[in-house]
Structure 1
Amino acid sequence: MNPSFSAHIAEQAVHWLIESQSDDFDQHQALQHWLQADSEHQRAWAHIQQVNQRLRGVASPVVHATLQAPPSPARRRALKALLLVGVASAAGLGLQPHNPLPGLLADYRSPVGQRRRLTLDDGSQLHLNTRSAADVRFDGQQRRVRLQEGELLLEVVNDPRPLHLLTAQGELRLGSGRFDVRQFDGFSLVSVFSGSVSVAGQPLLAGHQARFAAGGWQAVAPLDPNRAAWVDGMLVVSQMRLGDFLAELSRYRLGQLGCSERVADLRISGSYPLADSERILAMLEVALPVRVRRFTRYWVNVEAATS
């Protein structure tokens, strides 16, 4: 069995499995909408149900105590941890060795809607954006950081050891400076605020950003100064398509956030607080001729305002 779904979809499936145990009709409706939205969701859902069944057959007092405990926030946290470990366990679930959902087992993770700041052993600062995961390995000869999924910002200090940043596309070498790296399907986006990054001897200098793919740098462009606004808890945009804006906002909230084609090409500018996505949606109705239709808390669609 080789499940073809990403780590963050697996985490969503865990969320929905836990929510489905309630008697909330809206939650069950939202789950059905989530399942219908993408076949990847359906594959993850089928897999997490298998994980749940396997857990019930595990001869462990800790597992049994968690499954049988009365509903509470502590039980939810414990059950979520058990399910995530179960999903990611190649030995327990028969996953292929090359697909162990590494983001779920990374050294450092940030869940949906949260950000983390870490001080590394050399004094460098590592910031993780929403739905992100990274591994860190330092020794006497080198420093290595692997971005498993999502986005990170590194503030690298001077150190005689080189710092290597690995993404799905390969290996980058960073000097001291400030760098933002985001993993997409098929490429990474690298932004250099200070210092320089190189791949195979090809440098990317401060004030620039570029895609990094198998062949090296692609589409080198001037740096978007708002690229790292997320570190300060803000989403800052200038004349962005509403459809793209909502896709970006959806990274910071659970559930389905959709957009009608009639309004997708409207343009939006401004600074928006990521800690309160509901406030952002309310602001949209003031700034643009749109209405926010909430089917449930986890199923939201932005549509044209009625006349």
Structure 2
Amino acid sequence: MNGAFNHPPDITPGVAEQAVSWLVEMQGGALSPRRQQAWEHWLQAHSEHQRAWEHIQRVNQRLRGLSSPLAHAALNAPKSSSRRHALKLLLLLGAGSALTYGLRDQLPITPLLADYSSPVGQRRKVQLQDGSLIQLNTASSVDVSFNAQQRVIRLLEGEMQLIAAKDARPLQVFTADGLLQPQAARLNLRQFNNRTELAVFDGRVALSPADHTGSPLWVNAHQQVSFNRLAWSTPQALDAGSGAWTDGMLVAAHMRLQDFLAELGRYRRGQLNCDPKVAELLISGTYPIDDSERILSLLEISLPVRVRRFTRYWVTVEARV
């Protein structure tokens, strides 16, 4: 099994911790000449040290935009042990190590520490330095790490569409469930709590689940597949509406109302509920995801339902009386 599935290959956890320790020491006061020389020797000893130091510096800058108590302790108590602990925790979360995946569900700061993110209800396009294009769907975030040898993209949460540029350096795309290696590909990738869904529009992609020891699965153009850390499903033909979100549309083809509302709820803040009495109603059509209120109004016209709004952030679709 490739060790890269346990931690990303560009910055190992041990080196990330070393970089954190140096930063914590520097922020506690000016280094002595001996310690300054030791830091310079560490920095120049390996290119991985330099990548880790650059990443830690970027993360440290992001912390100054946080308003949480943890960030406040990290940045505003320079001589306390609690400050050192808080800073180290926050920096390790953003250091690109395996701890990112282990702790991101426990502390809601992943989007704030990610290289690129999009808030709920918004989409974002990012042009990378190699010419690749990433489009992030609602509530999504990625980390990007390029160097002279390789290109690495990590989907931390949510969904992205990637148009991979041609480049001599190999491209690796990580999710919590494994590794993808696109070849001249345009793909859509969505991270769920217990699986990842991949759709390939152009090119092909080698898929290696994190805990799978065999050969990778090649997913070809016009195919989609679901996988977890152990295995993958049988590749299927692309759904008609796959990737429609990049054009601001939600496509439903005989979709259960409960499933439709779950999808629509991704683009709204708050809770969008479905009464079990109407959950099995079927819905078809193409809907603009940037206007969820309009979609809810259309449901009342096309289905025997009513939309009950307790507050702006607590809405239930129930049977019409």
Q: TM-score, normalised by structure 2?
A: 0.66
- Residue number among 222, 226, 234 corresponding to 1:219 in the alignment: 234
- Residue number among 68, 71, 74 corresponding to 1:83 in the alignment: 68
- Residue number among 121, 127, 131 corresponding to 1:113 in the alignment: 121
| Whole-angstrom CA distance in 2 between matches of 1:87 and 1:304 | 47
- Cα distance, 1:87–1:165 mapped onto 2, change above 3 Å: farther
| Whole-angstrom CA distance in 2 between matches of 1:163 and 1:247 | 33
SS in 1 for 2:276: coil
SS in 1 for 2:86: helix
What is the alpha-carbon root mean square deviation over aligned residues? 2.4
SS in 1 for 2:277: coil
Q: What does 1:132-211 align with in structure 2 at a 5 Å threshold? A: 132-200=140-208, 201-211=216-226
1:90-133 per-residue CA deviation (whole Å, 9 max, x = no partner) reads 72596896315434310001010000001111111100000100
- Cα distance, 1:290–1:233 mapped onto 2, change above 3 Å: same
Q: Between 207-216 and 181-190, report the one with greater CA deviation.
A: 207-216
SS in 2 for 1:272: strand
| Whole-angstrom CA distance in 2 between matches of 1:153 and 1:88 | 37
| Whole-angstrom CA distance in 2 between matches of 1:85 and 1:176 | 42
| Whole-angstrom CA distance in 2 between matches of 1:85 and 1:119 | 32
Partner of 2:276: 261
8 Å CA contact retained: 1:84, 1:104 = no
Q: What does 1:1-307 align with in structure 2 at a 5 Å threshold? A: 81-83=66-68, 86=71, 91=86, 98=99, 99-100=103-104, 101=107, 102-200=110-208, 201-306=216-321
Q: Between 79-88 and 242-251, report the one with greater CA deviation.
A: 79-88
8 Å CA contact retained: 1:86, 1:93 = no
| Whole-angstrom CA distance in 2 between matches of 1:133 and 1:84 | 22
8 Å CA contact retained: 2:185, 2:202 = yes
1:166-224 per-residue CA deviation (whole Å, 9 max, x = no partner) reads 00011111111210000011110000011111124320111110012223422321111
The Cα of 1:253 is off from its aligned counterpart by 0.5
The Cα of 1:156 is off from its aligned counterpart by 1.0
Query: Which is higher, the Rg of structure 1 or of structure 2?
Result: 2
8 Å CA contact retained: 1:88, 1:104 = no
Aligned residues: 228
| Whole-angstrom CA distance in 2 between matches of 1:254 and 1:260 | 19
Residue type of the alignment partner of 1:253? R
| Whole-angstrom CA distance in 2 between matches of 1:82 and 1:146 | 25
| Whole-angstrom CA distance in 2 between matches of 1:88 and 1:210 | 44
Tell which has more relative contact order, 1 or 2 (C-alpha 8 A, sep 6+): 1
| Whole-angstrom CA distance in 2 between matches of 1:103 and 1:223 | 29
Identity of paired residues, percent? 50
Partner of 1:11: none
8 Å CA contact retained: 2:66, 2:112 = no
Residue type of the alignment partner of 2:86? A
Residue type of the alignment partner of 1:290? V
Q: TM-score, normalised by structure 1?
A: 0.69
SS in 2 for 1:218: coil
| Whole-angstrom CA distance in 1 between matches of 2:202 and 2:318 | 41
Q: Between 191-200 and 276-285, report the one with greater CA deviation.
A: 191-200
Residue type of the alignment partner of 1:156? A
Residue type of the alignment partner of 2:177? Q
| Whole-angstrom CA distance in 1 between matches of 2:149 and 2:118 | 28
Q: Structure 2: 5+ residue runs without aligned partners?
A: 1-63, 75-84, 94-98, 209-215
SS in 2 for 1:113: coil
Q: Structure 1: 5+ residue runs without aligned partners?
A: 1-78
The Cα of 1:88 is off from its aligned counterpart by 12
